[in-house]
Amino acid sequence: MSAQQPHDPHFTFRLPRTALRNAGIAFGIGLLLFVIVWWAGRDDGFYTPEATAPGKPLPIEALPEPLSTGAGASGMEEPAPRPAAEERPQLVEEKPMPAPVSETPLPTAPTDPTAPAAPVALAPGEVPVPIPGQTPAPEYPSSAMRNGDQGTVMVRVEVGVDGLPTSVEVAQRSGSRDLDRAAVNAVRQWRFQPAQRDGQPVPGAVTVPIDFKMR
């Protein structure tokens, strides 16, 4: 028996000879065409600037004139501002400033507490006398009116040298506290001619009746 040859795992790819020949012919034809084209255009440059005649300047396009300062956004010239009228100095009279007002109060003449008061008419004797028109009548208490209380209250008044009551009290009651209280409150507002002695006002006392009667 003949020995078996070992299996070769490698494969070799071979082109046919006709394909190689055709490729060589195509490459040769392309190279020939390139040489012909290059030879035909070797004298022509890519770009040749035109020669200018000596001494002839090139034409220069003039730029547009700049807009004047008075031209607006629309390109139209605005009228120039009129010159302002010459200002002449004028004399202005200013009013004088008012004198500052002092916030400090003006000094007033001091009052002497020992100075005598305004003269008061004196009573004809040593008993004070009520001054007509300055003896307001007492108010009738509503509670006394509801209860039907009536009567006369005797009120004793001590009067100072200025004619003002210094002490007022009930000398004789009427039987109603409301009536007694109303009489005392009324007499406290009275004004009197003070009593006198040798032409000088002196303290004095007098008892006055206050009548409460329902009509």
**Mean of pLDDT over the chain:** 75
Q: What is the mean pLDDT of residues 136-153?
A: 92
pLDDT tens sequence across 54-102: 555 556 666 666 565 555 545 555 656 565 555 555 555 555 665 555 5
Homologous superfamily in CATH for domain 129-212: TonB (3.30.2420.10)
Long-range contacts of 60-66 (CB under 8 A, 24+ apart): none
pLDDT number for residue 196: 93
Task: Tell me the C-alpha distance between 121 and 192, whole Å.
Answer: 9
- 170 close to 154: Cβ distance less than 8 angstroms: yes
Chain centre distance of CA 192: 60
Q: What is the pLDDT of residue 80?
A: 60
Residues 174, 139 contacting (CB under 8 angstroms): no
pLDDT of 179: 95
pLDDT at 20: 75
User: Residue ranges per domain, the chain?
Assistant: 129-212
Gap between the Cα atoms of 190 and 158, Å rounded = 11
| Rounded Cα gap, residues 65 and 75, in angstroms | 12
